[in-house]
Amino acid sequence: MKQVSYGTTAKPNNRARYAKHIIAVTSGKGGVGKSTVSVNLSIALAQLGHRVGLLDADVYGPDTPRMLQIENERVQWSDHNQMIPSENFGIKIMSVGLTTPTPDTPLVWRSSVAVSALMQFLEETAWGELDFLVIDMPPGTGDIQLTMAEELPITAAIIVTTPQQISLDDVSRAIMMLKETGIRIGGLVENMSYFIAPDTGAEYAIFGEGGGKYTATKYNIPLLGKVPLTMGIRKGSDRGRPSVALGSEDEKNYFRDIAKSLLVEIGID
């Protein structure tokens, strides 16, 4: 883990000291289920007794408010001029999606503005003391990712991918970036591993097979878990009913097992 330096002013790697651990959920490519993993992992950690905040840093596609059934909430300010995070399913949430006038207001922001907004969410939100700050990162390897890597003492990154070759290409680039910036990779999550037909229970490897395991082996990082594509998980995301809280036992266990594997990886029991 990175050493936090307790300087007198804001320094690189010195933000968000209210959180004991910072977990960055990343992906090479969008649309692989990064937000679904972020949301369900955060809730799973809370179910295990931890105090959890979820920062939705995907400023151009802030999907977590809908996934957590808080899409109609708007950010409130405290007497101390701090933003008050929303709460649901036992976690605190801050997202740019809670700050726009309507859900379809686009953020036509230069990246410098986006980075400033995220810094404000990190520093001017009344998170309280947290065991885990989970950050749902934007996909790719651009300004936001670079700045977060420089300014935050990230405990570990989790990389989400599908088994599809095209997604694995992009995830390889994300892994190389994390290695270059010195961020520890907590592990890989393979999402949409296979589709389970709701009528017959048949499994279809829509996006191919074995890609997650192959990539984990190639880059020597742990495979934290595999999550199938089920109608239940997809509807849960669309309807604000996170699977780890309100899904079937199987669906709950996919995400709980990932949370437990992560805790083992970073040495917390």
Give the residues lining the site for a copy of itself (CB under 8 A).
28-32, 35, 60-61, 63, 66-67, 103-111, 114, 138-143, 146, 162, 164-167, 169-170, 172-177, 180-181, 195, 197-200, 202, 204, 206-208, 229, 231, 234-235, 237-239
Give the residue from 152, 101, 121, 148 showing the smallest Cα distance to 53. 121
* Rounded Cα–Cα distance for residues 66 and 45 (Å): 20
Q: How distant is the alpha carbon of residue 158 from its chain centre?
A: 8
Q: Which is nearer to a copy of itself, 19 or 163 (CB)?
A: 163
Q: Which is nearer to a copy of itself, 65 or 225 (CB)?
A: 65
Q: Which is nearer to a copy of itself, 74 or 235 (CB)?
A: 235
Supply 11's token pair. 């320094």
Q: How far is the CB of 172 from a copy of itself (least distance, A)?
A: 4
Q: How far is the CB of 26 from a copy of itself (least distance, A)?
A: 12
199: amino acid identity, one letter: D
Q: How far is the CB of 25 from a copy of itself (least distance, A)?
A: 15
Q: How far is the CB of 189 from a copy of itself (least distance, A)?
A: 15
Supply 256's token pair. 């709980």
Beta strands (DSSP E) in 162-217 are 185-196, 203-204
Longest distance between any two alpha carbons in the chain, whole Å: 61
User: How many beta carbons lie within 10 A of that of residue 221, not counting itself?
Assistant: 21
Asked whether 261 and 187 are in contact (CB, 8 A), the reply is yes
Q: Which is nearer to a copy of itself, 205 or 264 (CB)?
A: 205
- Tell how strand 76-77 and strand 83-84 pair up: antiparallel
Q: Which is nearer to a copy of itself, 78 or 217 (CB)?
A: 217
* Residue carrying structure tokens 């960055």: 24
Q: How far is the CB of 111 from a copy of itself (least distance, A)?
A: 5
> What angle is formed at CA 19 by the lines to CA 64 and CA 37, rounded to 5 degrees?
30
- Tell how strand 203-204 and strand 185-196 pair up: antiparallel
Q: Which is nearer to a copy of itself, 4 or 206 (CB)?
A: 206
Supply 81's token pair. 């001029």
User: How many beta carbons lie within 10 A of that of residue 109, not counting itself?
Assistant: 14
User: How many beta carbons lie within 10 A of that of residue 129, not counting itself?
Assistant: 9
Q: How far is the CB of 146 from a copy of itself (least distance, A)?
A: 6
Q: Which is nearer to a copy of itself, 155 or 167 (CB)?
A: 167
Q: Which is nearer to a copy of itself, 77 or 204 (CB)?
A: 204
Q: How far is the CB of 109 from a copy of itself (least distance, A)?
A: 7
Q: How far is the CB of 32 from a copy of itself (least distance, A)?
A: 6
